[in-house]
A and B are shown apart, each in its own frame.
Chain A
């Protein structure tokens, strides 16, 4: 093919950095907003932990917290971490950045829609930020916003804070709907020649499954949110029993979305692991197709598990066992993925740079999250541990593994592609070991607190006789969580230092197979010199027919390869 098309765009600063339609810039915008919120969410976690360990004392650097403010902190921490950190980073940043590059497209199918999506998200962030400063403070009805608590201002004392919270969520959903349309259409239609669905990197499969889950589950909640807003502002009573409404309706609409949402966050995180584990083992992923089928199975199952959040909500008790069954069975597809990851390690040639450490960390943490999920999924056990710190710890093990460990793995791995420079390994490894040990130090005590019966969202465990003996665990978790926050400093230094001073990265610094590595680092607007042609699947590491231990997807088949019996050569 001819030399690469020179992208001669003398575009203004605004078109390049602010109102860009380039998927990579949009990804970085999502990343920037997500990281900003991560800092806010982390500081909220600090306030929460302080209040729990030393109730009603002055938190250093902040001051008095108290129960009312604590409820707001709890609510906003959950909202921010799920909707404004995990989703923008895992889908907004990694999805936007990697999907076009990995499928071999020059940009998303609808670049303008993509820009609209990130700006809707920015607006939603602004609304959420404003909600902190309105009279009455931000939302304080829990991130699940159960009515009637959330349906009438008098119950929480929060008026506009909660209205803005609903508005911010509605905007955020709109933003990700637009993003989801782009993900799905791009993957379906803009694949490079030769890139069949079964040659897609698993990360792309995970991202599109997540997008489908999101798009098909969020609708009822949007309707439900409109109803909640009407209850608050107009005075209807959709969720207020005194006017003929039903509080449980919201819970169903919320969790009908809320549970698939868990997988919306989790799957892209698993996708990152599924790229990194085989890569640093220099081996094909074990069971590419079984993994895809089990992802789809998990996606389908995720629509029929939501009521396990409501076993004790006053829901018809006959519904509990069917939902308990589906919930526990959804462990099977995820078990398959975990087994496949472990099998990928077998017989590998494993090296341990920072991305691999974080990927293995994700695996370790996610395993605990998944295994403890069985306790929650079992309806009778849930009677005791529902709404306790056991649940809190469980979902931090699952979501933290995706939103934190996998995110870091992905950032360390794709940083050279995103910014054209390598990150520092020493700081990276320091960051990993600090994060890994401190994370467990924070959340293992929470399992024990949960078993001890400590309820979620209480501001002061010392008010309960049966929790007082457990207080040392709270203190321990708090100290560990402060250290965990401080443990992120090496990352921040590394990130900014590497942006400026990092070793300049070549096109394919890791010798990886997928298409993004055949584009320049960082790729220009339009990504590829010429649209690549794909000859094989993404995980042909250590293929017997080539001397190197890697075989890029777009390397034309050599004549010698045709004679070999390797499946990779069968284009």
Chain B
């Protein structure tokens, strides 16, 4: 089933995928169990001449245990999923590691504006660099993204890095990622944002360290 997932190229993506696997195995087991029971009962207890259904109300605790105990198992598994999930969620969305690069991504109908602070590390100074729809980052470095929007809500989606975060006008929302493999990855918008929603697409270009150095030099030594 999970061969349909796009290639995973981020540090925390593996943990999100493993959460998916965990849930997949748990609900898969329940799926087989319940479907098996249904199929079995439908065959075993189909209507036959001269046989009468058993009268069971299932209201007494002893009888209801047949459904209450499975419910307790469901609850236990739920809590397991949730506590495992809490750690992963915290890692992706709450604990921001110290970043090597900060980029401000401003969404607007219908593209992404990537703003680099330049060598001084400050936004709003003369050496800022703005690119349309292209986000260049070095591999194996923590990149902090500040998400903003000029008009409506957009959603910054990096399918290969398993990251998604809405960009909401009036807020600056922080997200981070660390890509583990150089390449070109798409940045679609995942929240309906108008007639151009479909096709609002940017590119994340992950460079190897030396190539990124070169890219930086090209862009800032000139100015």
Binding site for B on A (CB under 8 A): 67-68, 70-71, 74, 140-142, 146-149, 155-157, 240-242, 245-248, 281-290, 312-314, 317-318, 320-321, 324-325, 328-329, 331-332, 335-336, 338-340, 342-352, 360, 363-364, 367-368, 371-372, 374-375, 378-381, 383-384, 386-388, 448-449, 451-453, 455-460, 463-466, 470, 539, 541-544, 549, 566-567
Contacts and interface: CB of A to CB of B under 8 A. Distances in A.
Contacts of A146: 152-153, 191-192
Contacts of B74: 331-332, 335
B194 A156 contact: yes
A240 B88 CA distance: 33
Contacts of A350: 41-42, 45-47
Interface stretch (B62-70, B122-130, B133-141, B213-221): B62-70
Across the A-B interface, give the 10 residue pairs with the lowest CB-CB distance, nearest first: A241-B170, A453-B159, A347-B54, A286-B58, A380-B88, A339-B67, A459-B198, A287-B58, A345-B41, A371-B27
B48 A349 contact: yes
Interface in B156-177: 157, 159-160, 162-171, 173
Contacts of A566: 55
B82 interface: yes
A380 B71 CA distance: 24
Max chain B CB contacts within 10 Å: which of A241, A289, A351, A378? A378
Given A342-B37, A381-B20, 4 more contacts: A146-B153, A288-B59, A328-B78, A375-B24
Given A460-B198, A542-B55, A247 B31 contact: no
Which among A141, A346, A460, A543 has the greatest number of chain B C-beta atoms within 10 A?
Answer: A346
A375 B160 CA distance: 18
Contacts of B155: 312, 387
Contacts of A314: 165-168, 171, 173
A320 B199 CA distance: 30
Interface of B: 1-2, 4-6, 15-16, 19-20, 23-24, 26-27, 30-31, 34-35, 37-38, 41-42, 45-48, 51-59, 63-64, 66-68, 70-71, 74-75, 78, 81-82, 85-86, 88-90, 92-94, 109, 151-153, 155, 157, 159-160, 162-171, 173, 185-186, 188-199, 201
29 contacts: A74-B192, A141-B192, A146-B153, A148-B169, A155-B194, A241-B171, A242-B170, A247-B170, A286-B66, A312-B155, A321-B86, A329-B75, A332-B75, A335-B71, A343-B58, A351-B46, A374-B27, A375-B27, A378-B19, A379-B89, A380-B85, A455-B157, A455-B189, A463-B199, A463-B201, A464-B186, A541-B55, A542-B53, A542-B54
A379 B23 CA distance: 12
A451 B1 contact: yes
A339 B70 CA distance: 8
B195 A349 contact: no
A140 to B, nearest CB: 8
A147 B192 CA distance: 11
Contacts of B166: 312-314
A378 to B, nearest CB: 5
B45 A374 contact: no
Contacts of B42: 345, 350, 360
Contacts of A157: 194-195
Contacts of A383: 16, 89, 92-93, 162-164
Contacts of A452: 4-6
Nearest to B167: A314
Contacts of A70: 198
Contacts of B151: 148, 155
A197 B219 CA distance: 75
Contact of A283 (B55, B75, B89, B162): B55
A290 B16 contact: no
A464 B192 contact: no
